[in-house]
Amino acid sequence: MGDVVEILDTTLRDGAQGEGIIFSVRDKITVAETLDELGIAWIEAGNPGSNPKDMEFFRLAGDLKLQRAQLCAFGSTRKKGIKAADDPQLQSLLEANTPGVTIFGKSWDLHVTEVIRVSLEENLDMIAGTIAFLKQEGRIVIYDAEHFFDGLKANPDYALNTVKAALEAGADRIVLCDTNGGAFPSAIGAGVRAVQESCKTNGNTSFLGIHAHNDSGMAVACSIAALQAGCGHVQGTLAGFGERCGNTCLAALIPSIELKLDRPCLLPGRLEHISKLTRRIAEVANVSIPDDMPYVGIRAFAHKAGMHADGILKISRSFEHVDPALVGNDRRFLMSEVGGRSAIAERVKKLDPAVTRDHPITAALAEKLKSLEAQGWAFEGADASFELMVRRELRNRAGNRKGADSFKPLFTILAYRVVSEHPTGETIACSHAWVKVLVDGKDEIAASEGDGPVNALDGALRRALTRFYPELEKVRLSDYKVRVIDGKDATAARVRVLIESTDGVNTWSTVGVSEDVIDASRAALVDSIEYKLIDDIERKFKAYL
């Protein structure tokens, strides 16, 4: 293995133990294919002895055309009082027909005597006998020393003896587990060195691995500490989810290994896909990755302060520890009153490369931002609304120079009405919306019923516009937030509505502000649809070119 760090992803096993994570067999296949696309070495795909779903996955896994990753099935050492060859759970591991098998055994004497309730000697025999049996069956054996660091603290001699038993039985990897997630990085490093000394590894510790949990918020740091102490194998889950507070987040760890420790762990050229593939796995699991997740989160390279934006534009490493392109992420400049003209100009350049920091449009947009934010608008989470504001400013100034009209949207709402009914009795409350739009001199009227006034207005507006723009049938709201800007005015206070929309491929956010929550929602809805239509037009134009 040398300087290469071997990665084992346990999303399909330990990750599936996270609250709210439920994978179907089809989901498990998608996750496995995604991890292989990233270039992971090992995929711990489940425990075939624990449930029919995992056994079904392993039955189908033989047809997977994995390019690099190897599958391993997961299980425990043999049950007490029987031989390894007679243990049904170990037989199920063999039936999974994977090249590798992950076996966990007890390293903490507390678990030996109080949890599985066997003698310390019997536990050592369970470890050695299980590994020897699986090796005889031709499997690569990855031994997880469960609760190793707690065991090392409580009874160091015994914890180290469990590792020796696994090594002498022929384990190919010895993985030291911080199962409770409470160890500090210093303890992890000390534990790895203790194994090195006790087992007389002569510096060859590439077969040692680390499996950390994040209960103290230090799983990634503990994994780095283990690598720096000599380990060559790391376990975790790509998106970080797992039991309790989760496992080592590989999306946050792998870039540090490759870019900062200068040790390869993926196939060449795959690191730049890690942001996209992490999001894909999160979508399969029906969870959202944190916006501030290192390297791959949407905020990982987002800059708001004017001084930061100015520094980034002059020399990127002044406020970024790595180039976002290396991990497939994007730099973002958040538009706000504290953002500064450099950040505004950088955003405007995407639409008009001639605009500079000192351009009149930049100054005008800076003043408009300050004025609107003073009224309660906020654009740092509504990129689409800010882009539309830029487009309007660019069109207005171009139109004024040519004597033309100001920016004209692709549609106009001529009138709308929203009515909510709250009948008594068992009848469910509902809302109705009516809207009249104008498109290219033609008007259209539509109505819709919804669970609430915004839902009804959204339905009526898109129904009216679909006659002219059929692509809107794919658009839906994926998130809706309302915030009272200044509560001192009570029910007359201005509110800010933030809407996230998606067409199934792209996602964008818009904002609206008003004393009327329905009107604020209307403004955000209009921006959402306007942005989608303009974006589609430009994509088609670029494809034509």
Give residue-wise pLDDT tens across range 58-116: 999 988 999 999 999 999 999 999 999 999 999 999 999 999 999 999 999 999 999 99
Per the CB < 8 A criterion, the answer to whether 54 and 25 are in contact is no
- Average pLDDT, stretch 276-293? 89
| Residue 300 binned pLDDT confidence (cut-offs 50, 70, 90) | confident
CA 349/CA 309 separation, integer angstroms: 14
Average pLDDT in the chain? 88
Q: What is the pTM of this model?
A: 0.73
CA 375/CA 377 separation, integer angstroms: 6
Residue with more model confidence, 52 or 158: 158
Q: What percent of the chain has pLDDT over 70?
A: 90
Residue owning tokens 């959402």: 528
Flag whether pLDDT at 253 surpasses 70: yes
Look at residue 367 in the predicted model and tell me its pLDDT. Answer: 80
Lowest mean pLDDT among 280-289, 470-479, 533-542: 533-542
Proportion of the chain in helix, strand, coil states, percent, rounded to 5 = 45, 20, 35
Flag whether pLDDT at 434 surpasses 90: yes
Identify the CATH number of the domain defined by range 6-284.
3.20.20.70
Contacts of 47 (CB under 8 A, 6+ apart): 13, 54, 73, 74, 75
CB burial of residue 334 (10 Å; 0-12, 13-18, 19+): buried
Domain limits, the chain: 6-284, 302-402, 412-544
| Residue 490 binned pLDDT confidence (cut-offs 50, 70, 90) | low
Contacts of 268 (CB under 8 A, 6+ apart): none
Q: What percent of the chain has pLDDT over 90?
A: 61
Q: Is 348 helix (H, G, I), strand (E, B) or coil?
A: helix
Of 475, 542, 544, 541, the closest CA to residue 506 belongs to 475
Flag whether pLDDT at 306 surpasses 80: no
**Can you read off the two tokens belonging to residue 339?**
């953002």
CA 147/CA 229 separation, integer angstroms: 19
Domain 412-544 CATH class label: alpha beta
Look at residue 483 in the predicted model and tell me its pLDDT. Answer: 85
Contacts of 338 (CB under 8 A, 6+ apart): 304, 305, 306
Flag whether pLDDT at 48 surpasses 70: yes
Lowest mean pLDDT among 71-75, 217-221, 515-519: 515-519
CB atoms within 10 A of CB 367: 11
Residue owning tokens 């504001």: 389
Give residue-wise pLDDT tens across range 356-400: 878 888 888 878 877 887 787 877 778 888 888 888 888 877 654
